[in-house]
């Protein structure tokens, strides 16, 4: 399962709801305002750090760049993907669950 989250963790509980329902073998991709969750030193990044060992976490780079955020700000271990990478993730997983 590929989970996507498109809401900022500062405005909505969507990211934490998603993390609570992630199973081993799944992956998490942060898109749109969801990318703010991967910035190091935030409560959301602590949640992500706790699952990084069992689930890869990806951030959609164009959404990060659009918001003036750079990779250097991100939680170590989080991987950047471009749109082609997004498509590869969708293909690599049996299903996608979009957390809105």
Applying CB under 8 A, which residues contact other proteins?
1, 13-14, 17, 20-23, 26, 94-100
CA angle in degrees (0–180, nearest 5) for 93-20-53 = 65
Shortest distance, CB of residue 89 to other proteins, whole angstroms?
15
Judged by beta carbon, residue 5 or residue 35, the one nearer other proteins is 5
What 8-state DSSP symbol labels residue 75? P
Dihedral, CA of residue 88, residue 64, residue 43 and residue 6, to nearest 10? -60
Judged by beta carbon, residue 13 or residue 87, the one nearer other proteins is 13
Shortest distance, CB of residue 65 to other proteins, whole angstroms?
26
Shortest distance, CB of residue 16 to other proteins, whole angstroms?
10
Shortest distance, CB of residue 46 to other proteins, whole angstroms?
18
Judged by beta carbon, residue 66 or residue 96, the one nearer other proteins is 96
Judged by beta carbon, residue 1 or residue 69, the one nearer other proteins is 1
């Amino acid at each position: 399962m590929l989970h996507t989250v498109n809401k900022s963790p500062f405005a909505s509980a969507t990211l934490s709801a998603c993390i609570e329902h992630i199973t081993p073998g799944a992956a998490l991709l942060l898109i749109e305002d969801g990318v703010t969750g991967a910035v190091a030193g935030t409560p959301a990044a602590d949640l992500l750090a706790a699952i990084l060992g069992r689930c890869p976490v990806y951030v959609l780079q164009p959404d990060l760049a659009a918001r003036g955020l750079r990779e250097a700000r991100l939680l170590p271990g989080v991987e950047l993907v471009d749109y082609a990478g997004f498509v590869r993730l969708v293909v690599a997983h049996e299903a996608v669950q979009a957390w809105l």
